[in-house]
Amino acid sequence: MAAWTSRGLRGSTLEELLNRTNEKYRQAGLALIQKVPTPITPIKIDKEKRHITLAYFEQKSTVDYIGAIQGIPICFDAKECNYDTFALQNIHRHQVEFMGEFEKQNGVSFLIIYFSARQVFYYLTYAKMKEFVDRADSGGRKSFTYDELDPAFQIPSGNGVFVNYLEVLQKDLDLRD
């Protein structure tokens, strides 16, 4: 069972930026996206500071965010990568399965990956993610490189939000038509 303190706050900066972005989208009436809480069981609590210092995950989480944008159901996970190579072990099997089932219900699933060395946010479509996962499952590379990604899906900055993924989501939708 995974412990909360093992890699506790990794990716928390990206999630904070996404939370602020999603709040801006909500205020503008563009989207309603919520952070999916990961259920935990506290083991140790610092009673003076009232903080959980050790906890275990109760169950596997699905994705980090779920909601709707202009009537379109979406779900996505936020990942952070320090290098130009992204290890597929960071995408858990149950997440791939959930996202696949979500797509079958006419939802849109994707990853937002922050390549911190490049300071680049990237929108990875479910189809491209699945292509990489299938390649690994059939004995190929267990990772993908930044150079394998389509530059058109790099998330531009601007429009008053931190991670402006709506424009790139529209590209994904256009490719589905």
Per-residue pLDDT tens for 73-85? 999 999 999 999 9
Residue 48 lies inside a defined structural domain of this protein: no
pLDDT at position 23, please?
A: 95
How many CB atoms within 10 Å of residue 60?
A: 13
How many structural domains comprise the chain?
1
Residue 54 lies inside a defined structural domain of this protein: no
Residue 10 lies inside a defined structural domain of this protein: no
85 marked among binding-site residues: no
Residue 31 has pLDDT above 70, yes or no: yes
**By mean pLDDT, which of 102-106, 128-132, 160-164 is the weakest?**
160-164
CATH number for the domain harbouring residue 31: 3.40.1350.10
Under a CB-based contact definition with an 8 Å cutoff, are residues 151 and 104 in contact? no
Q: How far is CA 32 from the centre of its chain?
A: 16
84 marked among binding-site residues: no
Residue 44 lies inside a defined structural domain of this protein: no
What value does the mean pLDDT of the chain take? 86
41 marked among binding-site residues: no
Residue 47, burial from CB neighbour count under 10 angstroms (0-12, 13-18, 19+): exposed
**By mean pLDDT, which of 57-66, 73-82, 111-120 is the weakest?**
57-66
Range of the domain at 113: 19-37+63-176
Residue 72 has pLDDT above 90, yes or no: yes
Residue 52 lies inside a defined structural domain of this protein: no
13 marked among binding-site residues: no
Nearest to 53 by CA among 95, 12, 4: 4
pLDDT bin (cut points 50, 70, 90) of residue 41 is low
The predicted model scores a pTM of 0.82
